[in-house]
Structure 1
Amino acid sequence: MSEPSDEQAAMQHYLVCGTENCQKNGQFYCNACHRPLCEQCRDEHQKSPKTKNHEIVLYRHRKHQLPVELCQEHPTRNKELFCRECSIPLCSKCSTMKEHKGHDIDDLEEIYADKYAVWQGEFSKIQKYFLPTTNSLKADIEEDVTEIKNIMESIRTSIKAEAESLKNLVDEVTSESIENTHTMEKSLLKMLKSQETTYDDYITYLWKMSDEFQEYLSITNKKLLFTKTLRIQPIPETTKPVPTVFTAGRFSKNDVTKLLGKVDVSNRKPEKRKIQPMEAESAHMKPTEKQLEQSTEKSDMKQILSLSSSVTKVKEYSIPGVDRAFYVSVDKSGRLWVSDRDGYLVQTDLQGNLLHKIQTSGEEEGYHTATQDGDLIYTEQDKKVIYRITPDRKITEFIKTGDWTPLSVHSSRINGDILVGMYTDEEAKVTRYNKAGKEIQNIQRDNQGQELYSYPRYITENINGDICTSDGCNDKVVVVNKSGQHRFSYTGQGSEFWPWGICTDVLGHILVCDSASDTVHLLEQDGRFLSVILSSQQGIMFPRGVCVDYENNLLVGQRGTSTVTVYKYLQ
């Protein structure tokens, strides 16, 4: 394939058309040829006498190509057929042999595509229903914990108020009543903690199932042809706690206990937590190719974002208080946090006005991140501490990392977890903390015991839970799944690749700066290179930091300027 022209390169953003010498966006797919096509090549494909009967669909609706497997009996042929009677794959020559005479022989690729769709549907259920619903139930428990604490505190206040006027007579009874509330509270909280553990265990199970589904869905994995569809265990049921009530008494010297009231458990029957039912099974089934073709592109566009025909610069921010815009974080309101190599970290409003400025020990790393709650988390390498800045600009110590130097940090948009890339003189790792700052996971080595990281300079999380790290010493992007299992590494397209800032978007794409070519690369969720999305042709020089805001715009910081440039690349 020849090199694209300057004009072609400027228009190249996602999947490239598979026709030779064509560099346009391959938004369609030929299921017969198994290659992407642009709109023009699709029309030519349908007009050609040789290919006019080929099935062409939108790329997202493509049939997944059958993994190649050579026949052991006939090594020059691929296994492309399936014998229903014997339940084994065959090559075309095997299907004509006498042991398969009269048997039902099907197209193996069709079976594979159907199986793939079924497993993909089950994987989708975990992502779209089971995990969100279970996390919602867990959040409900957290609200109940707060309510129980508030109720108990209210009861204790009432007891103290009742006892104040008769303090000399009721000290002992007051003490006993308060102790009784602590006992009840402990019992209730113990019950809620047990429920939390139940859902934590179930969430772990769901992630394990999700990883297993991903393995079966791999295009090179044919196990799903012969494996029964696994059934997902139902969400455990739990009961909401019955709040304790306080029954007020009347003052009497002869019956101090009655005067102070009685703390007791309500006789209300516990109600089961409401589990949102899953949509009808038909809603998760893959539609037929005929149905997909009948659906309009306009309807598809309403459901998900797609590639814009070109990358458009929509805005520029000249950031006061920094020498160079190395790394960028953005909160839900659109306000920016920008850092330079001298350790200055500033916040600006939507007009680029300076709101806040601090001096840190950070340099060229992705050492700050905006949280779901509107806070900013940043690392102090010299102190080996991670700090939190609240919207009212109060700075507090959040996490101590001990002997490890924290380099990069990212706040998950999925669950609020904090991911930190850190290192010592001998080793490096990625550590996960929950949003309260409790350490819950360490990722350091692959399944063969090899070190995954050397200098995890930038870190982000994809929509499927993958942790994507830009390693400054190994010169590669390292991607692991939520469980910490190594999925793939990306080492660029040329002889040299120097990865810097990294981020992901709502479609699961990975965007990473390459300082070797001063470009921004666009990858699929599974690591396949799609295109150079930004280069000098879009006015980019020395890109260092990238992030996607809540309006799906791409923000880019550059080494040679204090300006942050905003691009629109999705529509």
Structure 2
Amino acid sequence: MSEPSDEQAAMQHYLVCGTEDCQKNGQFYCNACHRPLCEQCRDEHQKSPKTKNHEIVLYRHRKHRLPVELCQEHPTRNKELFCRECSIPICSKCSIMKEHKGHDIDDLEEIYADKYAVWQGEFSKIQKYFLPTTKDLKLDIEEDVTEIKKIMKSFRASIKAEAESLKNLVDEVTSESIEKTHTMEKSLLKMLKSQETTYDDYIAYLWKMSDEFQEYLSITNQKLLFTKTLKIQPFPETTKLVRPVFTAGQFSKNDITKLLGKVNVPNTKPQKRKIQPMEAESAQMKSTEKRLEQSTEKSDMKQTLSLSSSVTKVREYSVPGVDSAFHVTVEKSGIVWVSDQSGNLVQIDLQGNLLQKIHTSGKYEGYHTATQDGDLIYTDKDKKVIYKITPDRKITEFIKTGDWKPISIHSSPINGDILVGMYKGGEAKVTRYNKAGKEIQNIQRDNQEQELYKYPNYITENINGDICTSDINITKVMVVNKSGQHRFSHTGQGSKFSPYEICTDVLGHILVCDGINNTVDLLDQDGGFLSVILSPQQGIHSLRGGCVDYENNLHVGQYRTNTVTVYKYLQ
């Protein structure tokens, strides 16, 4: 039996014992036989005279089996040794030849196991630490981009406000200066008018004196000329006009800049972005595993299934015809439907081959679902129609939604009812149809007549009949009972929350894809937070779509990649 690779082992829910006809969990490993062993087979292995001296370790501590490679010099022999001097792998026959005489010869398998462990450790570091940490740093940059845009917008507003304030002051000073010229002009004109009046009076006086002199000159009594003394008053004194002058302001562009203020980058040495140490990353992963173990203890032990202590990757598949995976629907047959943000809806078979592709008006919503009868139904929000695709790929108009735009849809596995999230002019609701397409219920407000929804872009139903929606506009998961009465809301675990896909499983768990924190939150059916079952530590990013299939596996889609990853989280 060939040994599975690390990747294959990690993908399996558990490793099967390598003993023939034994299907138990192979948690141990025989380094001599190179096969996994369960606890019972390990004990028998150690008791057997043939294998009692074999080295048996925990599976994760195993030595990796040396790949078979034939010797070029001796084609019937495998390369099993390593020549230290020549730094090449050789076979046992090569080791006794004169070319390697006296050289240090080691067991190639031991060297391979050591090297494999080192490289596997480095690979693990890349997947569990370096990639997630780098993506976190990239998210920091994206947040910085948002922040700098916000800062610069506020600066522009401040500059405009300062300019407006300065303009108001300029207008005020201008108005005062102009008013001052009017006052000064009035005062100077008054003074000049007074001087003009003075000279008018003096001219009148001179005319009077002239008449008087003429009178005296014309009289016959000359005696008066000798006795009467006439004296002309001197010119009245006035002052010359002191003309006002205008002194132009002395200012420059720099003066205006100083008045308005300026934007610059402080002469401060930038700090390096904080990188979380690898030890802290490991501690965080252990903490997540501990929370998962605690949630397992709380689960119903009477159930056939329960939460696994860890989440294991089962497989990955690429979806041709889409550039992202915003919503995933898995039929009972295993056929998968995937949609992206560009309106592409594609169907692929178990081998990943494209079966059909449809262009719709859907974008960031869960707008397709599989029915009990094996049909696929999807919404076209622009046409306000729900279409049905039968297994023979025939597309027919199924339900018309009137004035309401259908944005999300779910077919109940309990009774075949169809739940549709709808939107119209700022209002939103959830409508229930029976499997024949007849409208039987509308849910829009709670008991206090408060609106329940703004944009229910994903919708599902739990095993107890609760209707669960994720609403991107109010950043909440909204849960009502089958009668439409509000039960609870979920707003995430951090300061930010961006709910996308929402689905449930056979145990009544609610799984929520948080697109901003890149996690899958696990809730119980009463809204209690159990754990984060997927996070960036598993290498996921830009999380969007999710779906639990009929084998209880979680399919996870991401933004900007057409790869869907499948995880097992129940056992």
TM-score (norm 1): 0.50
Q: Which has the larger radius of gyration?
A: 2
TM-score (norm 2): 0.50
